[in-house]
Amino acid sequence: MALYRIYSSLFLFLLHTLLDCQALRNYPDNEVTLLDSMSAPGDLGWEAYPSEGWEEISVMDERNIPMRTYQVCNVMEANQNNWLRTALIPRAGARRVYVELKFTLRDCNSLPGVPGTCKETFNVYYHESDGAVPPPPLRHARESQYVKIDTIAADESFTQSDVGERVMKLNTEVRHIGGLSKRGLYLAFQDLGACIALVSVRVFYKRCPLAVTNLALFSDTVTGGDQALVEVRGSCVEYAEELEAPRMFCSADGGWLVPIGRCVCRPGFEEIDGQCQPCRPGFYKASAMDAYCMKCPSHSYSHQDKASECVCERGYYRAETDPRSMACTRPPSSPGNPISTVNETAVTLEWSPPRDTGGRGDVTYSVHCRKCSGSVGEMVEKCVPCGSSAHFSPRQFGLTHPRVQVSELQPRTNYTFSIEAVNGVSDLSPSPRHLVNINITTSQTVSVIVKERRSRDSITLAWQGPETSDGAVVEYEVTYYEKNQRDQNYTVLKTKSNIMTVEGLKPGTTYVFRVRAHTDGGYGNYGGEIELETRHEDMLAVGDPNQNTILAVSIAAGVVLLILLVACFVVSGRHCGYIKAKQDPEEEKMQFQHGRVPLPGSRTYIHPHTYEDPNQAVRDFAKEIDVSNIRIERVIGAGEFGEVCSGRLRLPSKREIHVAIKSLKAGYTEQQRRDFLSEASIMGQFDHPNIIRLEGVVTRCKPVMIITEYMENGSLDTFLKKHDGQFTVIQLLGMMRGIAAGMQYLSEMNYVHRDLAARNILVNGNLVCKVSDFGLSRVLEDDPDAVYTTRGGKIPIRWTAPEAIAYRKFTSASDVWSYGITMWEVISYGERPYWEMSNQDVIKAIDEGYRLPAPMDCPVVLHQLMLDCWEKNRSDRPKFGQIVINLDQLIRNPSSLKQLANSTVWEDPVTPEPAFSTVADWLDSIKMSQYKEHFSSAGYVSLDSVLYVSVSELGKLGVVLAGHQKKILSSIQCLHVQQQQQQQQGTQVQV
């Protein structure tokens, strides 16, 4: 009993300590308590048996509420079997409950004199029950009626106090019971002879508390009965929608595991702190998939919150396919500057793009056609749609380029074409469309007079009838008058034939002739006028009939050429306006990918004009270089926009390289800056060993610069002239091969160069030739060889294919023509193509079939290749790929180069007028002035005297350089032809 007392006092001390702590006790929020013996109000209703076994000890807490604890300490007697059983503890749906026991247990050794039956453990049992049937009475309790949870031992019985005393230790043990299924359970504690104080019994289960994950709400969930996870389906929070069914797993420990699926905030709402908050006014969120609300794009607004899209401002629209993030746009303004070029019953209409595209890149054009009758003033009233009779090329509606050709119109009819620019929102606008009208009248002309014969008092004319006609030709009407006398007198003659001799004319007088056709449908328009002069009396006085004929034929030939030349310009004239070399996208089948860098391997050139913002093209294709990485050394040339310097570029962690630096001179306009940089955005798209490589640009500080690889030997034409006659044919072939390979690459990229010439090829220290000069405006503003044509465009006539001169048909095939001329320049060491012939003569001669002869020492095969490049029909010209293959074969097989072309005579009757009359003038004209002295001191004074100078004589004269000899001899060939023609004309005059 003494022991018991000691034990009780110690126990009470402990209990009070525990009660103090009790007020601070906070159970985790995932634990739900089913029973807590310390805080249970009122009688616990526990039973003990036998009565001298477990004893209830009540203490009052600070609120004066009794707290019940149990103890037993019958250690002195053997055969103890003391049971303590709780009341029914409802399970509350839990399948797994935890039992937390707080107790003290004395070790037997600490109790002096206790017998060997003293125990240091106790057993804990449970019994499941529906509550209907009372549990087995305790006095008959047998272990088999209960399920044993565990035998509980103390971890420690005593602990050391601060002052070194042994203090009884409060033990805490937790056990769990799984697989519960009945309404509740009883816990039972069996003491077999230990000294125990059961201070607190707590029974609880665990749950996963309410949680919000991925915008899904997961409700409070009781954990599973065993180790299995409980799968829980979440529901989306307010203003959210399911993207993928949200699920999570509640673990047995009361923790949430593995979130799967998610909810997202609905349009008009964005996620903030796990909730969906409405977008503020001025912001919108179009899709649940967008993370955040965005500011309304340009020309749109949202006055309310929760906006899923912004409303377009008045006059602005959004096409159905436009993303909601795109600015609202409006229909384009009308196209500008319509130009028509009528060719009988066909018309080419061209116009400029609308000044305002409405903010869109999808502008197309539609052309409406009306046929009108009556005078011009009455047109509107009497116009009817053209119907399907007119043929539009490439199409009538949805034109992507501002140009259309309309054919199969009726002759001599007034038409009104209305051109409209349309974009993706034109149909949404109720405002009337902006149209631009153009009126034209088709004609029916007699085509060019093609033949004539002259005598003292008569002139014979011949012509071709109209190609298209609204009826059979009844007759032709020939009108003529004496030049400068038109107002006074003109004569009209009629004939059914297309040849007529007009008689009764004054000798040596110039007449102006015009011809028109009269058909069932009425009179057509006059063809072009032609001026012809009758022969002079004195010329006729001395003549023999044969020579008369020769003269007539000769003049006829001249006239034919003149007419063809005129025709050529008439044809080219159909394209009014400035022949500025722009890539014609429709003709050249360029693929535009706006705003995008070409995909690797796609090899398609992107025209910088397809960018709304040209600076973007520069950013896309050219690397920005920090000016501090550049060191300028010296000026090496002058470009269109400023100086060209050489210098060094050292990029971080790269070796220093030699570069050429083109700078944009101060005081430039924005347009000039764009044009200057356009060269970089074109060049930056190319990557080929025979194309000049762009290193980068400097745009962030002034002056703006373009940095390219440095080409030690400068431009090819100057280089060749400097090293006249110094290279082997194979070396020259290597240069030509390089240029052809570069051009093959460009043509495969769908890029048409338009100004291929030796002056635009750069040569490096290893004689590698690279194609350069890619600016947009450079063609051909800065090219000294480009001349204005009659239509105002600039074209380097000598290098340009006839179809490109005549009607701007610039293609890779016209580049092939220019390549042939460049080959000729290479073999002749920079000789000027067609020497000093005038551009007009060059056009005339080419049209007549004349082609440049082989330069001196030129292998036949190379001249043949040039001739192939100069095929009139562009589809007959070789492709650059074939040229490369051809040149490779020649390089591999040099014996094929042995046969040199024989180029002594010109086959062509058309020769240039000599622009000089003395040997000195002649040498000046061929830039060989340095030999004037040599010729004059050797007695060559008249031009005639040099006609038969041979190579060996040139050597004796002191002209030793092979290239110079070549140049002089080719020019002598030219003099020969001129001489021959003069002689021929002289003979005719004498007739």
Catalytic residues: 755
Q: Which range binds ligand AMP by CB under 6 A, 216-224, 460-468, 708-716, 961-969? A: 708-716
Q: Tell the smallest beta-carbon distance from residue 760 to ligand AMP (Å).
A: 7
- Between 775 and 793, name the residue whose CB sits nearer to ligand AMP: 775
Residue 660 interacts with ligand AMP (CB under 6 A): yes or no: yes
Q: Tell the smallest beta-carbon distance from residue 863 to ligand AMP (Å).
A: 28
- Between 125 and 686, name the residue whose CB sits nearer to ligand AMP: 686
Separation between Cα atoms, residue 271 and residue 265, nearest integer Å = 6
359 is in an annotated binding site: no
Residue 649 interacts with ligand AMP (CB under 6 A): yes or no: no
Separation between Cα atoms, residue 765 and residue 746, nearest integer Å = 23
Residue 711 interacts with ligand AMP (CB under 6 A): yes or no: yes
- Between 362 and 773, name the residue whose CB sits nearer to ligand AMP: 773
Residues of span 28-47 touching ligand AMP by CB under 6 A: none
Residue 315 interacts with ligand AMP (CB under 6 A): yes or no: no
Separation between Cα atoms, residue 695 and residue 661, nearest integer Å = 10
- Between 436 and 762, name the residue whose CB sits nearer to ligand AMP: 762
Q: Tell the smallest beta-carbon distance from residue 710 to ligand AMP (Å).
A: 5
Q: Which amino acid is at 343?
A: N
Q: Tell the smallest beta-carbon distance from residue 614 to ligand AMP (Å).
A: 19
758 is in an annotated binding site: no
2 is in an annotated binding site: no
Rg, C-alpha atoms of the chain: 53
What tokens does 646 get? 């050489």
Question: Among 514, 513, 517, 510, which Cα is nearest to 495's?
Answer: 517
Q: Tell the smallest beta-carbon distance from residue 659 to ligand AMP (Å).
A: 8
Q: Which amino acid is at 90?
A: P
Phi and psi angles of residue 16, each rounded to the nearest 5 degrees, phi first: -65, -40
Number of residues that bind ligand AMP (CB under 6 A): 16
- Between 451 and 693, name the residue whose CB sits nearer to ligand AMP: 693
Question: Among 120, 125, 124, which Cα is nearest to 194's?
Answer: 120
**Binder of ligand AMP out of 773, 803, 831, 841 (CB under 6 A):** 773
Residue 685 interacts with ligand AMP (CB under 6 A): yes or no: no
641 is in an annotated binding site: yes
Residue 714 interacts with ligand AMP (CB under 6 A): yes or no: yes
Question: Among 828, 830, 849, 846, which Cα is nearest to 838's?
Answer: 846
Q: Tell the smallest beta-carbon distance from residue 581 to ligand AMP (Å).
A: 15
CB atoms inside a 10 Å sphere around CB 17:
12
- Between 199 and 780, name the residue whose CB sits nearer to ligand AMP: 780
120 is in an annotated binding site: no
Q: Is 555 helix (H, G, I), strand (E, B) or coil?
A: helix
What tokens does 224 get? 């599973």
- Between 396 and 777, name the residue whose CB sits nearer to ligand AMP: 777
Q: Which range binds ligand AMP by CB under 6 A, 173-181, 476-484, 634-642, 939-947? A: 634-642
Residue 664 interacts with ligand AMP (CB under 6 A): yes or no: no
Peptide bond into 435 cis (omega under 30): no
Burial of 749 (0-12, 13-18, 19+ CB in 10 A): buried
Residue 799 interacts with ligand AMP (CB under 6 A): yes or no: no
Residue 644 interacts with ligand AMP (CB under 6 A): yes or no: yes
Burial of 690 (0-12, 13-18, 19+ CB in 10 A): buried
249 close to 229: Cβ distance less than 8 angstroms: yes
149 is in an annotated binding site: no
Instruction: Give Cα 206 to chain centroid, integer Å.
Output: 60
The 586-625 contact track toward ligand AMP, x by CB under 6 A, reads ----------------------------------------
DSSP secondary structure, 271-317, as one string:
EETTEEEEPPTTEE---TT-SS-EEPPTTEE--SSS-SSPEEPTT-B
Q: Which amino acid is at 937?
A: S
Residue 141 interacts with ligand AMP (CB under 6 A): yes or no: no
DSSP state of 875: G
The 208-247 contact track toward ligand AMP, x by CB under 6 A, reads ----------------------------------------
- Between 424 and 684, name the residue whose CB sits nearer to ligand AMP: 684
- Between 31 and 781, name the residue whose CB sits nearer to ligand AMP: 781
Q: Tell the smallest beta-carbon distance from residue 920 to ligand AMP (Å).
A: 30
Burial of 230 (0-12, 13-18, 19+ CB in 10 A): middle
854 close to 729: Cβ distance less than 8 angstroms: no
389 close to 340: Cβ distance less than 8 angstroms: no
DSSP state of 775: -
- Between 478 and 692, name the residue whose CB sits nearer to ligand AMP: 692
Q: Which range binds ligand AMP by CB under 6 A, 573-581, 705-713, 726-734, 879-887? A: 705-713
**Binder of ligand AMP out of 525, 663, 715, 812 (CB under 6 A):** 715
CB atoms inside a 10 Å sphere around CB 818:
24
741 close to 771: Cβ distance less than 8 angstroms: no
Q: Tell the smallest beta-carbon distance from residue 679 to ligand AMP (Å).
A: 8
**Binder of ligand AMP out of 230, 311, 636, 977 (CB under 6 A):** 636
Separation between Cα atoms, residue 152 and residue 187, nearest integer Å = 14
Question: Among 356, 349, 317, which Cα is nearest to 434's?
Answer: 356
757 is in an annotated binding site: no
Phi and psi angles of residue 795, each rounded to the nearest 5 degrees, phi first: -140, 135
Q: Which amino acid is at 103?
A: F
248 close to 230: Cβ distance less than 8 angstroms: no
Q: Tell the smallest beta-carbon distance from residue 627 to ligand AMP (Å).
A: 18
- Between 516 and 778, name the residue whose CB sits nearer to ligand AMP: 778
Q: Is 968 helix (H, G, I), strand (E, B) or coil?
A: helix
Residue 762 interacts with ligand AMP (CB under 6 A): yes or no: yes
Q: Tell the smallest beta-carbon distance from residue 823 to ligand AMP (Å).
A: 20
879 is in an annotated binding site: no
Q: Which range binds ligand AMP by CB under 6 A, 183-191, 434-442, 550-558, 639-647? A: 639-647
Q: Is 759 helix (H, G, I), strand (E, B) or coil?
A: helix
Residue 690 interacts with ligand AMP (CB under 6 A): yes or no: no
DSSP state of 135: P
- Between 368 and 693, name the residue whose CB sits nearer to ligand AMP: 693
Using the Cα atoms of residue 316, residue 319, residue 322 and residue 324 in order, give the sign of their dihedral. positive
Q: Which range binds ligand AMP by CB under 6 A, 272-280, 703-711, 795-803, 918-926? A: 703-711
Which residues does 75 contact at the CB level (< 8 Å), separation at least 6?
Answer: 3, 106, 108, 111, 114, 115, 117, 118, 119, 193, 194, 195
Residue 708 interacts with ligand AMP (CB under 6 A): yes or no: yes
Q: Tell the smallest beta-carbon distance from residue 767 to ligand AMP (Å).
A: 14
Separation between Cα atoms, residue 699 and residue 704, nearest integer Å = 5
Instruction: Give Cα 856 to chain centroid, integer Å.
Output: 48
Residue 637 interacts with ligand AMP (CB under 6 A): yes or no: yes
Q: Is 819 helix (H, G, I), strand (E, B) or coil?
A: helix
Q: Tell the smallest beta-carbon distance from residue 630 to ligand AMP (Å).
A: 14
Residue 765 interacts with ligand AMP (CB under 6 A): yes or no: no
Cα end-to-end span (Å), the chain: 170
Q: Which range binds ligand AMP by CB under 6 A, 207-215, 217-225, 631-639, 901-909? A: 631-639
DSSP state of 399: B
Residue 639 interacts with ligand AMP (CB under 6 A): yes or no: yes
662 is in an annotated binding site: yes
What tokens does 472 get? 């059979």
643 is in an annotated binding site: yes
Annotated binding site: 636-644, 662
Chain contacts with ligand AMP (rule: CB under 6 A) = 636-637, 639-640, 644, 660, 692, 708-711, 714-715, 762, 772-773
Residue ranges of the annotated binding site for ATP are: 636-644, 662
